A and B are shown apart, each in its own frame.
Chain A
């Protein structure tokens, strides 16, 4: 079992949740989503995001519209659909539960070890 794979999988597991979260307040195009995710060090290479976006769009969680760009090709602006919003809400709950659970488990371990 490679540590790299586990790390990548952990990161990718929450990636879907994070993409939806980025789009929570306002629509954004790919480069903007990528900037946010890359700044948070959640993403190393950009390629990963494209199949994810298509998948979320096909699942009806995201929709997009075209917008002309002053430099470069027209941009796809992604936004949450109603289903997407509900989905995100549910994921938020799950995430805080998971976060709590992980904190409890990991901190317990350290106290025991001491």
Chain B
């Protein structure tokens, strides 16, 4: 019993046994490969199919009869083997020589090898392609899998994109000449020789034809000959150019694969480390969660980013593969449009999320806390920064934030965004205003967040101890929480800012801020809308600094040099040197030295 297939050959319907059908298909495929498009391949094939249909028709007595392997063999015997179709070319030398089918037969292509497959046959296919043992390719895969799992992705892509070697012809193409370094070299060399040979031959043809034409009376025929010879010549030149264009294209292909693969791999690692970790809640990564005031799940943002960036690079990668591997399968229009759609959705989603995130900072609200300090005129106030014991750390002061645990063991946002400003007041006592700021998508949220800022200080013994950090519960998210400490001091009060306050003060000193960074560690007297430093070193009224090769006058002392003589006065004493005598006056006494004892 045999399974049959229905076929349509040149418009005629046939029942054919499955094995006979496969044989016929292989036969037609082989013939197809014997021709190039420039020879009118499709037309020739159509003619041949029509003839085969005719021959079958002669062998079928009625509609019910099935064509078996015997009939196919008969027809092939009549039509001849694929080789019988191709030999012609050599005898028509005036025709431009198409690419010889022999050559295309030799050309190796990348296929998946189903016969030696462990998974998808990609490794053994690559092994054939590079002419090495498949074990090395498999080892490389395993290494890549352990190396961040990128091998899996690449393997799956190749599995999808590289066609399987099904027919014998494809298998021959697959196993053909291995592409290794020495063969690549050989190929390039062959390519060169081929090109130079054809150019040379064509040039010779042209000259031959010209001399022949001069000799021969039959001008018309010869002019034809010249024409075709010059055609061959230009063909050769274009071959030559194509050779380099192809070489360049391969290079670009390799580059694209590298760029595409590297980006995809990076993105996948990024997606795994942020996205997945977010879903399974690994401690330490909640930083991202708290900065994310828009409340969009991080894994969603990661996936959108992955698609928005990854898809263009996937296409680059695919393009590179396509340039390098000529018989690559198309990923199909469905896949292409799906990817394009996914990309558009991701980009739009990211824009929406971005707008939402930005709107979270639309309102900046502050909440004020006002306290009187028992500091009056002529009192001296000292200001120091303190850090709480439980938060003690070497955290660099910047506008960032940290996640910490407070005494109660709760998770809190910790920030050192504290700013101190000093102003004068006409009232009799000092006052302290603590202004807490936070952002939010509307007034209420911003105000609530501002209120939720925890900031403490302490006042004792005429010393103000300000905390160097603020804290707030993580549920408030990090929304630019900051604290401004305004210190209003009565006129004639004196204030001393310790070194610890330096980085919390402003760089500038003006009527709105009477104490700047450079005034720490000094006693500052507050006047109306201005301040006065009581113990700052007096600046020199005048300053002389002379620096010439012979004379130097500066803070260190005086130094005069002439030929052979030198006098130096500095902190150590007086030193005078002539060619033969040295005089040294210092705290030890006076010392005179002479080389000449007469």
Residues of A participating in the B interface, judged by any CB pair closer than 8 Å? 8-9, 12-13, 30-31, 44-48, 50-55, 58, 71-76, 90
B91 within 8 A of A: yes
Q: Nearest CB to that of B40 among chain A residues?
A: A54
B287 within 8 A of A: no
B583 within 8 A of A: no
A54→B40 CA distance, assembly (Å)? 7
Are A8's CB and B87's CB within 8 A?
yes
Distance of B56 from chain A, by nearest CB (Å): 9
Are A46's CB and B78's CB within 8 A?
yes
Are B31's CB and A73's CB within 8 A?
no
Are B35's CB and A31's CB within 8 A?
no
Distance of B27 from chain A, by nearest CB (Å): 10
Name the contact of B10 in the complex, choosing from A46, A47, A50, A73 (C-beta under 8 A). A73
User: Can you give 22 A-B contacts (C-beta < 8 A)?
Assistant: A9-B87, A12-B91, A30-B47, A45-B79, A45-B81, A45-B84, A48-B88, A50-B44, A50-B48, A51-B35, A51-B39, A51-B85, A54-B40, A54-B47, A55-B88, A71-B57, A72-B12, A72-B53, A72-B54, A73-B11, A75-B50, A76-B50
B51 within 8 A of A: yes
Distance of B521 from chain A, by nearest CB (Å): 99
Distance of B162 from chain A, by nearest CB (Å): 32
Interface of B is mostly: helix
Q: Nearest CB to that of B42 among chain A residues?
A: A54
Are B11's CB and A48's CB within 8 A?
no
Interface size on B, residues (CB 8 A): 33
Name the contact of A53 in the complex, choosing from B9, B12, B47 (C-beta under 8 A). B47
Are B88's CB and A51's CB within 8 A?
yes
Are A54's CB and B87's CB within 8 A?
no
Q: Report chain A residues within 8 Å CB of B50.
A: 30, 73-76
Are A45's CB and B51's CB within 8 A?
no
Are A44's CB and B80's CB within 8 A?
yes
Are A47's CB and B31's CB within 8 A?
yes
A8→B415 CA distance, assembly (Å)? 93
A76→B10 CA distance, assembly (Å)? 12
Q: Report chain A residues within 8 Å CB of B79.
A: 45-47
Distance of B77 from chain A, by nearest CB (Å): 8
Q: Nearest CB to that of A69 among chain B residues?
A: B54
Are A46's CB and B35's CB within 8 A?
no
Are B92's CB and A47's CB within 8 A?
no
Are B91's CB and A47's CB within 8 A?
no
Q: Report chain A residues within 8 Å CB of B54.
A: 31, 72-73
Q: Report chain A residues within 8 Å CB of B80.
A: 44-48
A77→B31 CA distance, assembly (Å)? 23
Given A13-B91, A47-B48, A54-B84 contact (CB < 8 Å): no
